[in-house]
Amino acid sequence: MAIISSCIASTLKDAATSLRSGNLVAFPTETVYGLGVDATNKDAVAHLYQVKGRPTDHPLIVHISSMANLDKWAREIPEYAIKLARTFWPGPMTLILPRTNLAKDFITGNQDSVGIRVPSHPLATVLLTEFEELGGFGVAAPSANRFGKVSPTSSDAVFEELSGYLLPTDLILNGGPCEVGVESTIINCTQDLPEILRPGAITSTMISTLIGLQVNQIATGSNKSTIKAPGLLQSHYAPRAKVFLSTTPNLGDGFIALSEIPTPPDAIRLASPKNNKEYAQLLYQALRLADTKQLPNVIVIPPTGDDLAIAICDRLEKCSYKS
Ligand code: TXA
Ligand code: MG
């Protein structure tokens, strides 16, 4: 497979054609890199699950170029979901909605709902638009990492994760580092009230302020929701190094914290973000660096706040070491 760095219009058209032919195309979004596949092509989706090493009953998010195509995939869309889509799309938000017949069991993990997102990265927008012009309906794209591992926020990270699994006909598009750095907010819109299944850059305060409804937040490991989502497993987003939260590093341990927190003696600093936005941008790259440096442990001091800190803390909880 090739990494394509000069993503001019003709390359994106070729990439869209390749998707339509059943190949995989890893592409940048504003959250993390996705591993794209034609969401209506059963064999190609089977190949994607194999490359990811992901159990087939875990659903995929379908990416579309604009809200105009939402009706093709989803039905009985509640008023509050329309409002969310109009306000936060294109952007880092995924809506879970009742599915139409287009959304087959092989992308929904046999559930009656489908996850839909309109990403805002310009390269993703052009790729999806070209794909739809070729007759495609949507591109299913999980984060472009092996199942349970850290999501990639650069094309190099995608290569490092998946080069051993992709075919020569598959592609990786390079669109630079991801602006948000953590995965989209997932909102279950199949009930009277919205429920956050995975926190992200669109926060529960932003959602409830917009729609004037109470927003529920599903707890890690909770069995209250009937919805299945791998990000809800206890261990996810994990590097090989063991991640410990808010403990004192030993000699040679990695260390991640806001720049205002000094590096403890003997620790190896992996990132010094200035604020929570930068923290989200740098977190996954820093966890990957720990593995490149073959560090046994990483000590992370989680950020605080009700902004992106919530999403960061959610991922840190899930990747931290449980004895
Ligand atoms: O930011 C993102 O959302 C990235 C970029 C590439 O768009 N994608 C991403 O996909 O994080 P993935 O597959 O790594 O995580 C998607 C999550 C999974 O936890 C999946 O179970 C959940 O979305 N999901 C997808 N469809 C669902 C559905 N119908 N019901 C419940 N959860 C669903
Ligand atoms: Mg993922």
Backbone angles phi, psi at 81, to 5 degrees: -70, -35
Ligand 1 centroid–CA 231 distance in Å is: 8
What percentage of residues in the chain have a pLDDT greater than 90? 86
Which atom of ligand 1 is closest in space to residue 94's alpha carbon? 3
Q: Amino acid identity, residue 143?
A: S
Q: Indicate the average pLDDT of the chain.
A: 93
Query: Is the Cβ–Cβ distance between 259 and 278 less than 8 Å?
Result: no
Ligand 1 contacts CB of residue 114 (under 6 A): yes
Q: Which ligand 1 atom sits nearest the alpha carbon of residue 119?
A: 7
d(CA 132, CA 225): 33
Q: Kindly report, residue by residue over 81-129, the tens digit of the pLDDT.
A: 999 999 999 999 999 999 999 999 999 999 999 999 999 999 999 999 9
Q: DSSP letters along 106-130, please? A: HHHTT-SEEEEE----HHHHHHHHH
- Residue 224, pLDDT > 90, answer no
Rounded CA-CA distance 241/161 in Å is 15
What percent of the chain lies above the pLDDT cut of 70? Answer: 94
SS3 content of the chain, % helix, strand, coil (to 5): 30, 20, 50
Regarding the beta carbon of 204 and ligand 1, being less than 6 Å apart is answered no
**Ligand 2 centroid, distance to 137 Cα (angstroms):** 22
- Render pLDDT for 246-289 as a digit per residue (tens, 0 to 9): 999 999 999 999 999 999 998 999 999 999 999 999 999 999 99
Question: Is any atom of ligand 1 closer than 6 Å to the C-beta of 60?
Answer: yes
For 216, the token pair is 């529920």
Q: Which of the 8 DSSP states describes residue 260?
A: T
**Which ligand gives the minimal distance to the CA of 178?**
1
Half-sphere exposure of 223 (CA within 13 A, CB side): 0
CA separation, residue 256 to residues 23, 105, 262 (Å): 37, 40, 10
Q: Provide the whole-model pTM.
A: 0.95
How does residue 232 score in pLDDT terms, banded at 50, 70 and 90?
low
The mean pLDDT value for 139-165 works out to 96
Question: Does 111 contact ligand 1 (Cβ within 6 A)?
Answer: yes
